[in-house]
Chains A and B, each alone.
Chain A
Amino acid sequence: MHYLSLAEAGRAIAARELAAVEVTRALLDRIQRLNPELGVYYAVFAESALAEAARADSEIAEGRVRGPLHGVPIAFKDLYNLGPTTAGSAVLKDNVAVREAELVACMREAGAVVLGKLATHEFALAAATFADHFPPARNPWDRDRSPGGSSTGAGVAVAAGLAFGAWGTDTGGSVRLPAAHCGVVGFKPTQGLLSLEGVIPLAWSLDHAGPLARSVEDAALMFEAAASRRLQLDGGIEGLRVGVPRGFWAATCDPQVAAAVEAAIADLAAAGAALVDIELPFTIEDVIATGYLITMSEAAAHHRRALREHGPEFGREFRLVLKTGNLLPATAYVDARRARRHITAGVGEALLACEVLVMPTVGALADPIPAGPRPLGLRINVRPAPVYTWLANLFGGAAVSVPCGFSAEGLPIGLQVLGRPGDDERVLRAAAAYEAATAWSGRHPIP
């Protein structure tokens, strides 16, 4: 039952073939069994989840079906205001949200059952380590490795069958990176479509909310409920012009990841897509420098008072990121915002020659979880980690990561599909067509 798709679970509950209470209890039992070894949930709302499930069953029995999420258990990254809300930081270890985030309210309105709060990198940035206040979430495909972040718990919960869907946040890739490393789907919608009201910010001008799920259809259902819109994912990709900007990733990508992505591109062509070679007028280093300079400046501004008053309570990496942000001149922030316009214009130009772009989500396999704080030099470096996700946050378009293979070590690899702002349906349709043509999404790390 725990590996049913969200869509299947919703249909079975609506048809009263399964009771929401039965489904919720099954997931709560599984969470109780696996959470100690996977570190997925910071908080589990067992009692309220069962009450919500019972209410859903009653409403459905009376013929009042709210929609595909009615009675379906989901969870939230611990950045959303909802009960105990810590952002993965000792600074907020005792914080309890007074008012729930708008997106939480939206999911309640859709009838979803809220299982609990999920692990995160501290304030959605610093890499989780074994020395943190909260123990790190483990990658279910290799428990010594990171599940990717910052929405660590969301990736693991979905991959390990501990939720049918999860809400993460994405400032530079924090929904798509754990999706890629955990072998699930992560969707960053067009900027501004989903509410961030009641979500603890990292960098206000780049932050997005986004769903993680085990299929493109499931992620689309969560998005539809949150954005109050309907998407049409059928229809395939016959004739769709798919842009391939190899120059953007070729020099920095792990060979196993590159091989899986090239195979995925061939699969897209076999499914009817027309491939178009694209040259982007900027490099991955340009994108990462721009993303980080904006993020560090905005995060430093947001946390300045807390850093003065509670500095030692922040984890070391995040504390040093904030201090670095305080060292940046205002002109660097202004130039980074202007560089963002250059990047946005370049992507816009590229997307005149094609409808979507494809590339690896991240050009590396999941890292081992470090024993202690990572040196900041690993993050701020002229040769930074090959993370190809910042791009969509900078230009604001829709982007989704979908599983496209496994490494020789058995670690998942993600393919990223990106489109123009507002082209969420087209991006998801392309990902759904790829998913339907391959079998990568059907694998699970734990029986």
Chain B
Amino acid sequence: MSSPEILREIEGQLRARGLDAAEDELAELGPVYEALADWIQRVERLALPEPG
């Protein structure tokens, strides 16, 4: 279960895009949001600079 701060952050980001999330959806999105950090770091490490 993600912390209330993480869930509030997700809720705020979705609201900023005109979206909402029910409580059960937020509960599922929390751990996913945290797992994404691994993927985001991974592609940052792999990224080649743009040509030029």
Bound CA span A338–B28, Å: 29
Contact of B35 with A by CB under 8 A = yes
Residues of B contacting A336 in the complex (Cβ-Cβ under 8 angstroms): 43, 47
Interface residues of B in 6-22 (CB under 8 A from A): 10, 13-14, 17-21
CB distance from A308 to the nearest CB of B (A): 5
Contact of A54 with B by CB under 8 A = no
Residues of B contacting A323 in the complex (Cβ-Cβ under 8 angstroms): 14, 19, 21, 25, 29
Partner of B48, one of A292, A328, A329, A341: A341
Contact of A320 with B by CB under 8 A = yes
Bound CA span A336–B48, Å: 10
Partner of B18, one of A308, A339, A381: A308
Q: Are B42 and A286 in contact (CB under 8 A)?
A: yes
Knowing A326-B13, A338-B50, A381-B35 touch, does A308 contact B19 (C-beta < 8 A)? yes
Q: Are A289 and B32 in contact (CB under 8 A)?
A: no
Contact of A105 with B by CB under 8 A = no
Partner of B32, one of A282, A290, A343, A377: A377
Interface readout for A329-341 with B: 1 if CB under 8 Å, 0 if not? 1011011101101
Residue of A nearest to B40 (CB): A332
Contact of B5 with A by CB under 8 A = no
25 A-B pairs, CB-CB below 8 angstroms?
A: A282-B46, A286-B42, A286-B46, A289-B38, A289-B42, A290-B42, A292-B39, A304-B17, A308-B18, A320-B25, A323-B21, A324-B33, A326-B14, A326-B17, A327-B14, A327-B36, A328-B36, A329-B40, A332-B40, A335-B47, A338-B48, A339-B46, A339-B47, A342-B48, A382-B38
> B: which residues have CB within 8 A of A?
10, 13-14, 17-21, 25, 28-29, 31-33, 35-36, 38-40, 42-44, 46-50
Q: Known pairs A282-B46, A293-B39; list 10 more (Cβ under 8 Å).
A: A289-B38, A290-B43, A308-B19, A320-B25, A323-B14, A335-B43, A338-B43, A338-B47, A339-B47, A376-B32
> A: which residues have CB within 8 A of B?
282, 285-286, 289-290, 292-293, 304, 307-308, 311, 316, 319-320, 323-324, 326-329, 331-332, 334-336, 338-339, 341-343, 345, 375-377, 380-382
